[in-house]
Amino acid sequence: MTDALPDGVERRRFDGAERLATRGEPVYGEPTDREWRAWNPDRSKLGAMLELGMDVDLAGGDDETVLYLGAASGTTVSHVADFAGPTYAVEFAARPARDLLSAAESRPRLFPLLADARKPETYAHVVEADVDAVVQDVATRGQARVALENRRFLADDGRLLLAVKARSEDVTRDPEDVFADVREELAEGYEILEEERLEPHHADHLGIVARPLGE
């Protein structure tokens, strides 16, 4: 566990409370203080991982490239694009993608892609090779398989930052059983470095930090 934050992410006070924050235009009604905007861990799995002290190994800076799977309306990926370099945001649903496009208007390093994270071949011609991090938050069955299919984009020393939603896999099973299956499948292509349940911010979610195994 660590409290090391990426460059461009700070703990600042909003309304008397210390919060994670990035510099950028507000996106979802979050509190602001001049150029800083609060990062709400209750609305962001990656934000929760940082709040809980997980070592996500994001350096921040213009040279860091990120592939974000499951960008939705841009709540989290907008924060990522505030502190990272080129950030490719994959979202399949057209309605949240419209909000994602709006979030990208003030962020020249954010590149929205209307595509299915389960079919990386549909955006492989756009996403540069050897990205530093794949951040995944997709509410679908087969979350481990999505991570494995997108491993092709990761640099050898890159990181997978995965939020596993147990109820998206099987609402009838115990979440710990679901997480065990995800761990087993991920082992086909990743070494898990750290994991932690994301409560109290997100019920029945597991945050995972992993690195790709060598070929």
Question: Which residues fall in the annotated binding site for S-adenosyl-L-methionine?
Answer: 75-76, 91-92, 116-117, 137-140
C-alpha–C-alpha distance, residues 82 and 79, integer Å: 5
> For the residues of 109-152, what is the DSSP string, one character each?
TEEEEE--TT-GGGTTTTSPSSEEEEEE---SS-HHHHHHHGGG
- How far apart, in whole angstroms, are the C-alpha atoms of residue 113 and residue 75? 15
In the chain, how long is the greatest CA-to-CA distance? 50
Q: Which among 4, 8, 21, 161 has a CA at the least distance from the CA of 83?
A: 8
CB 179 within 8 A of CB 206: yes
Cβ neighbour number for residue 178 with a 10 Å cutoff: 21
Closest-CA residue to 45 (of 70, 21, 76): 76
